[in-house]
Amino acid sequence: MSDDTLILDADDTLWENNVYYEDVRDAFAERMAREGFDRAAAVAMVDAVELERVPRVGYAPQEFVRSIGIAYERLCERHGLLPRAEVAAEVEAIARRVLDHPIVLLTGVAETLPALRRRFRLILLTKGDLAVQQSKVARSGLASFFHAVEVVPEKGPDVLRALVGRYGLDPQRTWMVGNSPRSDVNPALAAGLGAVYIPHPVPWDFEQTPIAAPERVIELARFSDLLHHFPGLEAQ
C-alpha cells in the first residue's frame, strides 16, 4: 500500500450536508415571520443557540432539532409572549427534515475516488454522532474506498496526531482534505500535515474561521481537482 495518505472529511466534502440545515433555517424563519417575528432575527437566534449548545451537546441532528425548538421559545420570551404548542409542533416538524435527508454525493466524488484509491491510502474522518455518521457512510456507498472510517465527536490537531500514530502515517506524505477551515484545515496545519481546502458553496458559518497559514494550504475549487493537483493520477 502507498505511504501517501489522504484523510478525507465527509460532510460537505464528499456529500451534501449543510444545505439541508440551511433549508430548515429558511423554513423556520418563514414560519417565524408568520408569527410576526423578524426573519433575520429568527435566523440569528438559531445561530446563537447553536453557538451556545454545540460545544456542549455536539453535532447530532437531533440536537439541531432541539436547538430550533429553543430558538422559537427564546423569540417568544424576547417579545414577552408564551410559546404556542401548535407552533412548537410545526417548528419541530420543520426541523426534523434534517433527520432523514438523502445522501447526495458532490459532483465528481464518485468518479474521483477510484483514482485516488490507486495512489493513496484513504482514511475517512468525520465528526458528529457515531450512529448518524456511520449510517451516512453506509448509505453513501463509498465505504469500500476507505482503508478506515473514523467518527469522532470533534476534530482537532490531537485527533489527527492520534491517526498518524495509529496508522503509522508519515506527516510529510499525509494530507487532510476538507471544506472546513475550523475543523479540517487548521487542525491539519497544527498537526504538521498537509492541508487541502475545498470550500463548499453553502458553508456553515460555525465552521468559518481564518486559515492559520494560507501559504501552506492547497485550495481547490472542486473535489475532482485533486486529480490535477497530485501528479501521476490523471494518466492512470
The piece of 11-19, 38-46, 93-101, 158-166 that touches Mg ion (CB under 5 A) is: 11-19
CA distances from 146 to 28, 117, 118, 121, 129 (A): 37, 8, 11, 8, 19
The piece of 32-40, 128-136, 179-187, 209-217 that touches Mg ion (CB under 5 A) is: 179-187
Which of 5, 12, 60, 188 contacts Mg ion by CB under 5 A? Answer: 12
Q: Binding of Mg ion at residue 174 (CB under 5 A)?
A: no
The minimum distance between CB 56 and Mg ion, in angstroms, equals 21
Q: Which residues contact 139 (CB under 8 A, 6 or more apart)?
A: 102, 103
Which of 5, 7, 9, 72 contacts Mg ion by CB under 5 A? Answer: 9
Q: What's the grid cell of residue 101?
A: 435527508
In this structure, which amino acid lies at residue 228? H
Q: Binding of Mg ion at residue 18 (CB under 5 A)?
A: no
Q: What's the grid cell of residue 95?
A: 426541523
The minimum distance between CB 12 and Mg ion, in angstroms, equals 4
Q: Taking Cα atoms as reference points, which of 11, 54, 2 lies closest to residue 177?
A: 11
Which of 11, 50, 129, 150 contacts Mg ion by CB under 5 A? Answer: 11
Q: Binding of Mg ion at residue 179 (CB under 5 A)?
A: yes
12 or 150: whose CB is closer to Mg ion? 12
Instruction: Let me know if 48 is exposed, middle or buried by CB neighbors in 10 A (0-12, 13-18, 19+).
Output: middle
Binding residues for Mg ion, rule: CB under 5 A, are: 9, 11-13, 179-180
